[in-house]
Structures are given as structure tokens and as C-alpha cells.
Amino acid sequence: MKSLPKIAKVLLDLSLDRSFDYAIPPDLAADIRVGMKVNVPFGNGKGERTAYVVAFAETSPYPTLKPILSLCEDRISLPDSLIRLGEWMADYYCCARESAIRNLLPGAVRNGKVKQKTENWYFLADRDSAMSYITANAKAKARCAVLKVLLNAPGGMESVQLQKEAGTSASVLKKLLDDKVIMIEERGVERDPFKGVKVMPTAPKEPNEQQAEALQIIKNKLHDRTKEESHVVLMHGVTGSGKTEVYLQSIAEVIAMRKEAIMLVPEISLTPQTVGLFRARFGDELCVLHSGLSDGERYDEWMKVQSGKVKIAVGARSALFAPFRNLALIIVDEEHDTSYKQSEAPRYNARDVAVVRGKLENALVLLGSATPSVESYHNATTGKYTLVKMTKRYDPTVLMPSVSVVDMRLESDENGRIPFFSKGLIQAIRDRIGRGEQSIVFLNRRGFARQMNCPACGYIAMCSECSVALTYHRRSQMLSCHFCAGTMPAPEICPECGSHDIRYQGNGTERIENIFEELFRGARIARMDSDTMTRPSLYEKTLASFRKGEIDILIGTQMIAKGLDFPNVTFVGVVNADLGLYVPGDFRAQEHAFQLLTQVAGRAGRGEIPGEVLIQTCAPFNSAIQYAVEHDYDGFFKEEIMLREELAFPPFGHMMIIHFRGEEVEKVQEAANALMTLIRPYIDPDTRVTEPAPATVERIAGKYRYTALFMGGKLAQLRRVIKRAIYTEKHPGVDIYVDMDAISFL
């Protein structure tokens, strides 16, 4: 027999980046597991803290160890493999181990405040005595009514429902309890995030040739995989090629194998429609994990995984950490999506961590996209991943949309002013309204005007807390900061010189809506951006009425770029494709522009009528635009990867940014210089370093921001040195953190 563990290494709920040794009392030794939440004494007094067991040990360098006090009553425990994944994340993403382990559990599970929901159920002590009670107390109508209801409910009835059906109150139930004719029981119930949402079950669709090929490769790998073979499949399928059906049938295979699957989708696609697709196929075998649930629902959904009640978890980023113990498949849909990267510690990319979890647990990882990230596609072309291509739309009669470009410089008026809309765009929308078809108009900027300025004195309305111009929102008559969310009333005269000639520059989605209301009188117009879609229910409502044909023109930001599948949309207009093309210092700008344009264009022509896409730009020969027009991912990739290799940008090396933030700029500079001095000896000679300097947006929410950039293939040792320095050298008033494989330069 295996001997019982004696010493536990635990991580406390603090950010110290170190574990502590505790003795395991004999009465707990048989039950304790790695990954369990426990209570331990901490500090000199009688302090008590929760902690997570991360390992067992035979010996400890400390002679006297305090004992673990108890196991937490909800018996939450993480699989060993997840603890190892957490340790890997702490190391790779350069964050405290506690923060990485904490991240594995939803807050609702971690904080211990949410408990299982219970209901009071009543049932008869026995039928005979109930019947004689009715005979003996015939005048007590209320009591008799309760008993009669219960006589017809052999399983008992929940308190509220019982009172309703019998038309009585709690005091009547109390009397019956006192008389011992009925009994009460507290029962645990699950909170149901799908309450009231019914879905019709669906059967698998007959796969077409390309889908069948993809499925064959996936199934072979699920059943029989040699260690040498890649455990990652990249499925590159054009918009409308039927990737979802491949996901569904791959998961069905996993279920048939009695194993488990995780399905990740970008947060924005987590609509009831998406979840509904999966529920329709898998019913109660599935749980959802995402931030839109209430704490109680999240707790219950997570517990369903922990207790083995479900075999499939669908969700955003955090669903990757569903505590399955027999995982066979992780799917990452829209794998290129930047919402997989978490912006707070640990700053992980769920796509990359999925690949690591798959490796640790010998599970297959399926990445899918119409526009794969350059990193993933590079891995596929070099043989690190297996590439599966789906080049045709699922329904062969549905053609790819025709995409054309309008050079806005040629549309300018006699004064050289460039209009918001080309004649072609206006005509295209007008035609659609006339034919009863729908249009989508895309602009990646919300608000009415980008900035408010005074031509008389040069005043520009800036945020007082950030070094950025404020955006004008017309409906609310407010200026708002898109970085810190701060707002102020829009001035009617220039606050500097008193001029009445205050002007607005640049356009946003709100202004488009405004102009369209004039241009297309009588048309039904809706706008979807984070200003109008303040609640998930509004998003649902708007999409539902768009689906029903109650909206002619849908205007929106990237919120409408992804996943929407409406057969009656035959026109997509991109108002300004140049937004995002030239982000200073962002080597991914071209890639993101290509992805966004391809995704937006993919919303057109998903039904019988061919779709048309019109892209307005002042840079018609930009390669991201050109390749998007041709639907030529491979062409785009070949050009982009050559550039990346030449400049040794990712994937030919990693990129790491150290951020320094604080309210006093001198302290921020000081901390940055001190850290650089400390780490300089550990920087590999092949690593390129950009010394600490003010970030692109120098100040956000009152804090000055400095960044130092490192690019190279050998950053592991450097990361360890940086991490030690961050957790030992204190710089009061300055936050220092690392962003590994950063995607934002702001």
C-alpha cells in the first residue's frame, strides 16, 4: 500500500510567488489530495487562511511545521494536471504562482461565498394517516387542501409550489408539520442558466467531402496517436465552410469514447444561438462557463464538471480550465481572436495554453479559423501542427461574396474633402432597401466624432487622466474617454478662447447612424457598439429583430464582424478600412486588418442571393486589403511571414514587454532604470531590447506608463530573473509586470 502523505506544499491566497510547507495531520492524510482547498494557520496570532495544496513532500527544510487545520467543506479539488498547468503559466507568463492557481477557479467557486442552492420539499408521512387526518379534520379546509395536493404528488412538492397549488400559507404547512402528517426535507437544486430557453434536438448533418476528410483526420488522431505525431490540428476553413459541424461531430466522437471535451469560443460569440447549437446536439451533457452567468449559475456549472455530471464544457477563455480528468479534445474556435488573451494577470493566451494543456493531458487540440493567426499557420506549414483545409462553402450554391474597393481619394469634392460615403456605397444600400434585402455597415470606431477641436485657438478636448483626445457622443451630449471611460459634458463654446466655432473631426458609428437617418428616410436602422449594447440582452434583442427582417441596415463596430450568419444580408460596407492599418509600432496591424476585413466580408451572401462587399479606403494597394479582396489567405500569409522572418518578429522569436506604471513619472523612470540595471547581465546577446520609454499612450487613468520591449528566442532565463526582481525589489507607487507574447502595444 502507498504510504500516506506527511507534508503538503501549499499556496496561500496571497501574491508572494512561493509555497509553504505544512504538516498533514493523520486524520486528514487519507482524504487530502493535490489541488484541494484547505485551511491553514498563518502568521503569529491565530490567523487562518485558505490555501491550495500543490504538492506533497517527504521532508521539509523547516524543522517544525504547523499542521493543516481542515479540508474546506465544499471539497473543491483541482486535477493534478491543472495544477501543473498553473505552474507552467506562472513561469511562462511571469506572474505569481498564487495568481496562476487562483485563475484556474472561477471567483464564485474560489471565494466560498456561493453555496449550493436548496429548496424545502414537503411530502406525506404516509398515505393512510393523511386520509384519516382529512376525515377527522374535514372543516380545516386549508390543511385538507394541502394533503389532497400531496396525495397526488408521490415525490413530494417544493414549498412555494405547494402553497400555490393548495392556495394556502406557510402557517398551514407548519401546523401540519406539528401534527406530524407531513414531513419536510431540504434538497439541493441546480441553478439553470438555460431556464425557459428550449431548444429542439438536431441530428448530425451529412458532411460534404472536405468536412468528411477533416473529420477522418480528427477521429484518427482521437483514437490512435503516436507520441511523435502532432497533437494539434489547425483547421483553416473559409467563412461558411461548415467548421461548426466538424466541431460538433468531433465532440460526438469524444462522447462515444466516454471521454471529455472543451469548446472555446470568443466571448462575443457566446450568444444563446451558439450555445443553442451545442445544446441541441448534446443536451444535458454540456455545461457553459463564462462571465455572463450569475455567481450561483457559475458555481453550479463548474460543480457539474467537478462531479462528473457533464462531459462537455463550452465557454470563453476561462472554460479552458474546466476541471475534467479524462480530457480528449480541446477546440479553440476563431483561434486568431485577440479576446483569448487576458489583459490582467496572468496575461495568458487561452489558445496557447490550450496547446500546453493538450500536451500535458495527451488530448487533441483543434484550432479553427477562416483567418488563422500567422503564428499558428506558420506552425502548420512547418509540420508542428497538422493542417486541414476547407476551401469551399458548405453549400456549393452559396458563393463567396464579390469584394470591391473604392479609392476614397477619387471621391473627394472640388475642395479636396473626402466624403464619409462613396456614391457606390449609398447606391448599394439603396438597392438593397428597394429589394427588401439587408445591409451591414462596418466602422471600427464608436461615438459620433473622434475629437472636438477649436480652429481659432487650436484647443483639443483631452482626457484629464489620459494622454488621449476625448470622443464626442452626440446623443448624450458628452465627451468620453475610450481608455478610462471618464466623461464630461461637451462644451458649447471653446473653454480656452470662448469661440463658438467648435468643430468635430473624424466619424464614428453614431455619426453614420445620424447621416443614414437623413439619407435613407423610412429605412429601419440599428446600431451595435458598446455604447448601445450595454446589456447582453440588448445584443440578443437586436440580433433577433435583424434575423426577423425588422432591420434594413445594421451599423456596428467589430461586435458585428464575427460569426453572424444571416442569409438575407447581401451587402456589407466597410466605411474606413484604413483604421487599424497604421498602428505605430504594431507589427500585427496588417494581420489584424486582413482578419477583420475577411471576417466582415464573410457576413455577406450566406444565403441564395450572392453577396457584395464594398471596402472604402485611401490605401487601395495595401496588401492586407488586396488579399482580403481576393479571399487569398495563402497569398497574405506568404508575404507576411517573409516580412516577419526578415525582421525576426514572432513567430521567429518571442516578444515580451515589461510595463511600469505609476502616478509619479520620476518614480516610474527610477523603477524602470533600476530593473534594467539588475537584469542587463542576463540578456542574451541575440535578444533585441528597446530601453524603457513612454508608452504609445503615455498616461491612462492618471498613471504614467513606461514600457521596455524584448524580442528574441531565448527569454526563459531572463523571465526568471525579472520575476524574482519584481517580487523581491519593492518600488512603492510603481506597478511592474510582464506581458509575454504581448498583442497590444498601448
Residue numbers at the binding site for Zn ion (CB under 5 A):
454, 456-457, 459, 463, 465-466, 481, 483-484, 486, 494, 496-497, 499
Report the 10 Å Cβ neighbour count for 29.
15
Which residue, 103 or 471, has its beta carbon nearer to Zn ion?
Answer: 471
Which residue, 276 or 486, has its beta carbon nearer to Zn ion?
Answer: 486
Residue with cell 436548496: 118
Which residue, 50 or 476, has its beta carbon nearer to Zn ion?
Answer: 476
Residue type for position 187: R
CB of 503 to Zn ion, least distance (A): 10
CB of 452 to Zn ion, least distance (A): 11
| For residue 346, cis peptide bond before it (omega within 30 degrees of 0) | yes
CB of 280 to Zn ion, least distance (A): 44
Cα→Cα distances 412→407, 503, 567, Å:
10, 20, 34
Which residue, 703 or 723, has its beta carbon nearer to Zn ion?
Answer: 703
Q: For residue 3, count CB atoms less than 10 angstroms from its CB and return exposed for 0-12, middle for 13-18, buried for 19 or more.
A: exposed
Which residue, 356 or 665, has its beta carbon nearer to Zn ion?
Answer: 665
Which residue, 578 or 698, has its beta carbon nearer to Zn ion?
Answer: 698
Cα-to-chain-centroid distance, residue 738: 21
Which residue, 304 or 450, has its beta carbon nearer to Zn ion?
Answer: 450
For 126, the 3-state DSSP assignment is coil
Sign of the CA dihedral with 675 first, then 678, 681, and 682 last: negative
CB of 463 to Zn ion, least distance (A): 3
Q: How far apart are CA 109 and CA 302, in angstroms?
A: 8
CB of 614 to Zn ion, least distance (A): 34
CB of 490 to Zn ion, least distance (A): 14
Which residue, 482 or 719, has its beta carbon nearer to Zn ion?
Answer: 482
For the chain, the distance separating the N- and C-terminal CA atoms, rounded to the nearest angstrom, is: 57
* DSSP secondary structure of 662-722: ESSHHHHHHHHHHHHHHHGGGS-TT-EEEEEEEEEEEEETTEEEEEEEEEES--HHHHHHH
Which residue, 46 or 500, has its beta carbon nearer to Zn ion?
Answer: 500
Sign of the CA dihedral with 273 first, then 275, 278, and 279 last: negative
**Conformation bin of residue 729: beta by default, left when phi > 0, alpha when psi is -120 to 50:** beta
* DSSP secondary structure of 255-276: HHTT-EEEEE--GGG--HHHHH
Residue type for position 84: R
Q: For residue 646, count CB atoms less than 10 angstroms from its CB and return exposed for 0-12, middle for 13-18, buried for 19 or more.
A: exposed
Cα→Cα distances 423→408, 428, 571, 616, Å:
10, 9, 15, 11
Which residue, 127 or 503, has its beta carbon nearer to Zn ion?
Answer: 503
For 236, the 3-state DSSP assignment is strand
Q: How far apart are CA 264 and CA 106, in angstroms?
A: 16
Cα→Cα distances 678→660, 724, 725, 739, Å:
15, 11, 8, 19
DSSP class of residue 549 equals T
CB of 657 to Zn ion, least distance (A): 21
Which residue, 496 or 686, has its beta carbon nearer to Zn ion?
Answer: 496
Which residue, 150 or 463, has its beta carbon nearer to Zn ion?
Answer: 463
CB of 456 to Zn ion, least distance (A): 4
Sign of the CA dihedral with 282 first, then 288, 294, and 300 last: positive
CB of 484 to Zn ion, least distance (A): 3
CB of 450 to Zn ion, least distance (A): 15
The H-or-E segment that residue 128 falls in is helix 127-136
User: What percent of the residues of the chain are helix, what percent strand, and what percent coil, each to the nearest 5?
Assistant: 35, 25, 40
Which residue, 13 or 465, has its beta carbon nearer to Zn ion?
Answer: 465
Q: Do the Cβ atoms of 601 and 405 come closer than 8 Å?
A: no
Q: In what order do the strands lie in the sheet with 471-473?
A: 471-473, 478-480, 487-489
| Cα-trace Rg, the chain | 30
User: Cell for 591?
Assistant: 494581420
* DSSP secondary structure of 405-472: EEEGGGG--TT-PPPSS-HHHHHHHHHHHHHT-EEEEE-S--SSBSEEE-TTT--B-B-SSSSSBPEE
CB of 470 to Zn ion, least distance (A): 8
Which residue, 418 or 478, has its beta carbon nearer to Zn ion?
Answer: 478
Which residue, 457 or 642, has its beta carbon nearer to Zn ion?
Answer: 457
CB of 700 to Zn ion, least distance (A): 6
Q: How far apart are CA 125 and CA 138, in angstroms?
A: 19
* DSSP secondary structure of 610-646: PPEEEEEES-TT-HHHHHHHTT-HHHHHHHHHHHHHH
* DSSP secondary structure of 172-229: HHHHHHHTTSEEEEEEEE---TTTT------PPPPP-HHHHHHHHHHHHHHH---TTS
CB of 663 to Zn ion, least distance (A): 14
CB of 455 to Zn ion, least distance (A): 8
User: Cell for 641?
Assistant: 511571414
CB of 120 to Zn ion, least distance (A): 51
CB of 459 to Zn ion, least distance (A): 4
Which residue, 530 or 690, has its beta carbon nearer to Zn ion?
Answer: 530
Which residue, 56 or 483, has its beta carbon nearer to Zn ion?
Answer: 483
Which residue, 405 or 494, has its beta carbon nearer to Zn ion?
Answer: 494
CB of 499 to Zn ion, least distance (A): 4
For 542, the 3-state DSSP assignment is helix
Q: How far apart are CA 487 and CA 461, in angstroms?
A: 11
CB of 495 to Zn ion, least distance (A): 8
